[in-house]
Every structure is written in C-alpha cells, then in structure tokens.
Chains A and B, each alone.
Chain A
C-alpha cells in the first residue's frame, strides 16, 4: 500500500487557511498527511458551537456527529460528489446518514481540481482511501487512549469506535476533542480496509444530490443569487474572430430594467436588473462588427481535408483504404454557459459552473486585477461534456469562449455583482466545438494488424475544444467501422476477426457484449446488428452491440448491449447510468445534425436546428459490468465513442450500405 504524494499537486506549506461552507465553522489550521513532513496535530476551534476534528482537508468530524466530507472535483452529472464521498467515508467508517458533502472552492490545498478526462476516481482512489483511513486511525487512537487499552484491540464501524474485548464503545462525535490532540500519522503507515470489509465502495449508494434535484433546491450556476446582483448579456461578433467597431446603446437603454451598456474585450455587455431585461436590451442594441474570418466555410474545410487525406492514396487490390468524416459538433449542455462575478476594490468572488476551478480562478484574477482575497465557488454544473474545462485556446485565441472573464470584466466596470447569462443561441454560437476531421485508415487485406490510421482535423480559427472523449470519437469511429469493412471484405465475422488482434480485457468485453446480444442469431429483413469496441484513453474497455431497423431510409436504434470493464467499481449504478447516458450522447452525435459554418458564422442556433436525441428515440439498453479488482479507471467518456461505429456497422448489416460520416447523411440510405 503506498501513500499518495505528488509534489506537483500537494502543497508543501505547513498551514493552510481554508474556510468551509457557512454553518460549518472556520478551520484555522489543517495538517496535511504525508509528503515527507513531520506529522502535526489536527486542530479544531469552536465555531457555531460545534467543535471539529479535521485530520485533513477532506474530512471534518463535528462533536454533533455530523461528518463533513469535502469533494474536490466538480459534479457534472457523472456522480463524482457521491463516488468520492463513498471512497473517503468507507475508510473513515463514517455513518452514511451523518455525512454532509461540501464542495471545495478553488484552492491548491486540495491538489488538482480539474474535472475531466474521466480521471476523478482513477487519480484519487488510493489517495482518498488513505485520507479516510488516517481519520479513522486517529479516532481509534483517541478511543484507545480514553479507555486505556491498546489501539489494536479497537475498531471503527458506522460512526463509532468499539473495543473488541469489552462492551466499550463511543461515537465519533464524543471523541472529537481527544482526537484533535492526537498526532496525525503519515498515510503510508496506515492500512486500508480489506476488500471484504468495504461498506460503500462497490455499492450503488444513492446520489447525494438527488433529494435537492427533485425538489428544485439544487443550485446550479444560473441559480446563484447574491444581494445587489445584476444580470448581463453580451453582444458578440456573429463572425468567428470579429470585433466590435462601434455601438449605439440608446435603444437598449430604453428597455425597462436596463441600467448600463459596457464594452468589454470581446463584445458589448447589456447590464440590467433581470435576465429578461438584459436579453431584451441586447435585442435593442445596435453593434457594428468588423474583421474576423468571414470566408470560413465548413463545407470547404471538409472538402479540403478530404482532398489532403486522399493524396497518395492509390487504390490497390491488396489494400483496403477508407475515409471517415466527423463534423463540427456542439456540446449543448442543458445549462448554458454563465458566470457570476463580484469584483470589489480589494477582493473578488466568483461563482462559476466550471470543470476547472483553479484555471477559472486564474482567468478571473487576471480580469479582476485587484489585490486581496479571491475566491471561486463551484455550484452544481448542468452538464459539461468538456465544454467547461477550458476558457481559451492559448495564443491568439478568440476570447468569446471565456464566460468567466466576461463576468469579471463587467462586474469590475459596474462595481456590483454581475451574472453573465448566455442564451442557448450564445451557447451554440460561441462553443468550443468538437473539431471537423477526416481519418484515413488503410490495411493490407492479408493482415488486419497492418492497419494504419491518420487523422487530419481543422485547427483555428473556429474555436475547438474538448468534447466528451475528444479525439477518441473520430478514432473509434474510423477504426471500428474499418474493422467491420475489413471483416466484410475478407469474409470473416466481425467478432471472430477481433479475436485475432484484441488483448485479453478488450476481448472479454467484446465476447460478453456479443454473447448477451445473441450475436449470430438471425434477424428479420431490414434489421441488423453491429459491434464496436474501444478503450477511451486506453484504460476502460467498452464493447457495444447495436441493433437497428432501417425502413424507408429511416434508422431506428432498437437495442444496445454494452459490456464495460473499468476495474474496481466504486458505484455500479453510476457506471450503468454513464453507459446509458453515453449511448444517448453518441446517438445524438451520429443521428442528428452537424454544426456548419458559412460566411464565418455558425449556422445553428437552438434545438430546432441543432436537435439532440429525444426520449422516444432512446433504444433499450443493457449494461454488463465485468467484475474486476484491477485499479479503477474512468467511465464518463468511455461509452459514447463506441456507440456510433456500432450503429454504423448495424446499418451495414441491415442494408448492405456502408456509411462513413458522423452525423450520417440520410441521403446515403435512400
């Protein structure tokens, strides 16, 4: 068992000032375990009449039995606030019902808070188990000391410490004062629980935010309210990379509720006392734009990519060569981008639904440019899918993607808290899209292992960014359709073919999905099955078999069977939910519309011209999770790249027609 010690993400300061959410009391000094420093005692102070024992930044045990567990990754719907709590709470031996989950603000004391790449559990599993174990051991030490017995004769369970050899027992809360006086051990010296003793890890614990979500109490970025706040919309260049030349504000100022017009780096802000007034005000604002890439056309970019990819690709009887296109795609989380900033003369505070609180705090700092206290809070996030990871492309990047800087600039200018709200149109027009790409795959028909793949994608000036699984989308799309094409060309069953080149864990999920889907059993005319496999980031193995029916050129996906191997499973139901959700996401990417650019302008605006999958289009889904004790790996981005190629392959099985673009072009089916 090793202790986690990352020199780049753990802070080596001795004392870190952290303030917890209101009602928790103030923690003045916190000791961080391990990292080669002498252990120092945890400290508590009395605040709100609750005394606390705080062995590390993640755990605070109150003498009222409440256990505050701080989660340092952001909840985007992937269940991280629940799963990370399970990990800490299990080793701590907390009573689940006594836990209150606290969201960490941006602070290096927590280490890396960047929530993306499906890495939250993978990177923190060992570390957080150790954090929980350390807390448990100190509580046990405190009990042992108070009873005058050996530590080894005591154990913890469900919020209490018990003495094995007598009926002595005590609750965590009553041990707080004594625990605070103990030395906090190095995490390396503390054992983890035996797998057979785990109580929360591996269980489908219910999402901690569920009750607030179903009663409307859950607070997302758009819901944060502070006294004296104003609302703002920003007029931004409709042409990629354009800038405002001039504006006329009289019309906007004539709208009731609008108080100010504020030019900012990337546009013109309309500030009002309500969201609707800000929206109406912007409708009445006149702006002249100049510059930008008015000749950008996604059609031409795609033709260009295809032409480049085709160069030197000569047809040969011995080779199979194919080209696969993935269009620009938009994230469209249900909560559009937004940010609330409150810049004062000597401090600032920001509320941003972001995947990257520390990066967002840097952006806000630069824009606020004030000395003094700075804070960034992360509310619940209404979907992210990679959009809320970054706020720039680096270099001479179009700054219309940066909602944190917008809010901070406006607040600074008006001297009040300002909530910048992006409408759905803003959100689509100023996305950091999944990039347009063409992938060429070639292999000698004599040997699938000669497969070579190369992808060309368009960089700037269209803003592109991370889109749930990123490059894994075109990679899996191209590779898995090609394998199917190869199988058809040489007359081998696609599952059989994969046995010749997939390693163990990969093949296991392929076989499992195939078996559960009844691979090889006959299907009616017009129906077909397709299979695909991928390991996003090379870590989690997912195979899916899709069953489709194609009638009159219309594709109906009727069933998807999914097999997943993500190593140790922290919460099986969350894994299942992420597989289901990823399938829906993948189907939207494949079966709906692309983002197109013409005259330098994004052509789509809302769900009428950029639709997503609806409930009546969702197939039946079965998920099979492989039992494993390999180290846990992620799940957030692991399902969606597999779905599209599985469906393409099913369409081929149903119709004999091979489609090679995402989204599909239905003209190719009629």
Chain B
C-alpha cells in the first residue's frame, strides 16, 4: 500500500492503494466513477480509455503509480454538461447502440483531435482502431468525428 495523489477531472485525489492497481479499478471501484468501462483487461479493446495529461491511455493496463501527480480526465470530466463537441456530435449522428464502448470511443476521439485537429478519414480510422465495438457503430463513429472536424474542432 502506498499513498497516491493525482488529479481526476479537475479534483485532487489522495488515496492509499497498492501501486500496481490499474487506474481503471481506482477510477471505478475506489473513486466510484463508473463511466470508464472494463472490456478486456489487456489494453486490447479500448473501453477503458481515459486521458492522461491529454493523451489517450488504456487505464486497465496503467498502474496507478505511473499517474502520480498527473491529470486524468474520464468521460465524466470531458465537459460540465455533456456539451463537448464530440458528445453533441455523438448524439446528432446517433452513434451508440448498446453504448458500453462509447465512453472509451469518445475519449480516444478527444485525444486524437487534440493532437490532430484535421485528420483524414484514414487517420481517424487508424487512431480509433484500438477501440472495439461489437454492436458495429463504426461508420457513425467516423461520421461523428468528421462532423466535429468540419464544424470547427474541439
């Protein structure tokens, strides 16, 4: 057990936890934010994607010790009232079916647009290829991201 301090969605968190505990379970179980999902535990599906210092990481394979002193943003922290351009585009394009993978998809998209504000379709699909969707909403994910790009970005 060791003490860990990091910033989650703009708030400082101070917890005592085993340092190798994946960030995913700290977010979900220790701190109670269930928007970030478990899908595989091996960084293969992207459902657990959060922003760490603005970059997309798979929280299921990110030990809590590595986020010491850093800023983490989950789907709950992407916007104050669900009005991030990606969230609005996701609703306009009616992307979600079951919706379970979508927080991870949106966070991965947010990270992409931070580093590449005008991606081509190929770049979108490449950046998003680590986020799986069993319901098959892929066409609408691409469309929603493209919509945000065309409407002025994030």
Contact = CB atoms under 8 A, between A and B. Distances in A.
9 contacts: A210-B94, A213-B103, A216-B74, A219-B34, A222-B37, A381-B98, A607-B42, A616-B129, A620-B139
B132 A614 contact: yes
Interface in A582-597: 582-585
A632 interface: no
B14 to A, nearest CB: 18
Contact of A334 (B21, B33, B132, B139): B132
A79 B133 CA distance: 16
Contacts of B98: 75-77, 333-335, 380-384
A618 interface: yes
B44 A606 contact: yes
Interface residues of A, number: 62
A54 to B, nearest CB: 30
Main secondary structure of the interface of A (DSSP, over half): loop
A107 interface: no
A360 B83 CA distance: 38
Contacts of B22: 276
A585 B106 contact: no
Nearest first, the 8 A-B pairs at minimum CB distance are: A216-B35, A584-B136, A77-B98, A382-B100, A77-B97, A213-B99, A216-B75, A581-B136
Contacts, number: 179
A451 B138 CA distance: 38
Given A210-B91, A210-B94, A256-B1, A275 B38 contact: yes
Interface in B22-66: 22, 25, 28-30, 32-42, 44-45, 47
Interface in A208-258: 209-211, 213-220, 222-223, 225, 231, 256
A302 B106 CA distance: 42
A206 B136 contact: no
Interface in A69-114: 75-79
A223 B34 contact: yes
B134 A214 contact: no
Given A381-B98, A383-B135, A385-B134, A275 B74 contact: no
A573 B139 CA distance: 13
B96 A276 contact: no
Contact of A213 (B74, B78, B96, B132): B96
The residue among B32, B40, B140 with the most chain A CB atoms within 10 A of its own CB is: B40
B104 to A, nearest CB: 9
Interface string A543-574: 00000000000000000000000000000010
A456 interface: no
Interface of A: 75-79, 204, 206-207, 209-211, 213-220, 222-223, 225, 231, 256, 274-276, 279, 332-336, 380-385, 421, 423-424, 573, 577-578, 580-585, 606-608, 612-616, 618, 620-621
Contacts of A220: 37, 100
Interface of B: 1, 18, 21-22, 25, 28-30, 32-42, 44-45, 47, 74-76, 78-79, 82, 87, 90-91, 94, 96-103, 106, 125-126, 128-129, 131-142
Contacts of A607: 40, 42, 44-45, 132
B58 to A, nearest CB: 12
A330 to B, nearest CB: 11
Given A214-B87, A216-B33, A616-B129, A380 B99 contact: yes
Contacts of B30: 274
A655 to B, nearest CB: 25
Contact of A577 (B129, B131, B137): B137
A582 B136 contact: yes
A381 B134 CA distance: 13
Given A214-B90, A231-B29, A334-B133, A382 B97 contact: no
Contacts of B97: 77-79, 577-578, 581
Contact of B34 (A76, A213, A225, A616): A225
B35 A215 contact: yes
A644 to B, nearest CB: 14
A214 B141 CA distance: 12
A77 B99 contact: yes
A73 to B, nearest CB: 14
B3 to A, nearest CB: 15
A98 to B, nearest CB: 19
A616 B125 contact: yes
A231 B41 CA distance: 16
A583 B91 CA distance: 22
Given A580-B136, A615-B133, A335 B100 contact: yes
B15 to A, nearest CB: 12
Contacts of A382: 37, 98-101
The residue among A77, A334, A583 with the most chain B CB atoms within 10 A of its own CB is: A334
A209 to B, nearest CB: 6
A580 B139 CA distance: 8
Contacts of A204: 94
B39 to A, nearest CB: 5
A276 B21 contact: yes
A421 B79 CA distance: 30
A333 to B, nearest CB: 6
Contact of A276 (B25, B99, B106): B25
A214 B35 CA distance: 9
Contacts of B38: 222, 275, 336, 421
Nearest to A256: B18
A207 B96 contact: yes
A218 B87 CA distance: 14
Nearest to A213: B99
A214 B97 CA distance: 11
B125 to A, nearest CB: 4
A222 B100 CA distance: 10
The residue among B76, B101, B128 with the most chain A CB atoms within 10 A of its own CB is: B101
A64 B137 CA distance: 37
A381 B97 CA distance: 10
Contacts of A383: 98, 100, 134-135
B91 A211 contact: yes
Nearest to A385: B134
The residue among B47, B74, B78, B139 with the most chain A CB atoms within 10 A of its own CB is: B139
Contacts of A585: 134, 136
A9 B103 CA distance: 38
Nearest to A421: B38
B96 to A, nearest CB: 5
A573 B34 contact: no
A383 B100 CA distance: 8
A1 to B, nearest CB: 32
Contacts of A210: 90-91, 94, 96, 99
Given A214-B102, A216-B76, A618 B87 contact: no
B25 A613 contact: no
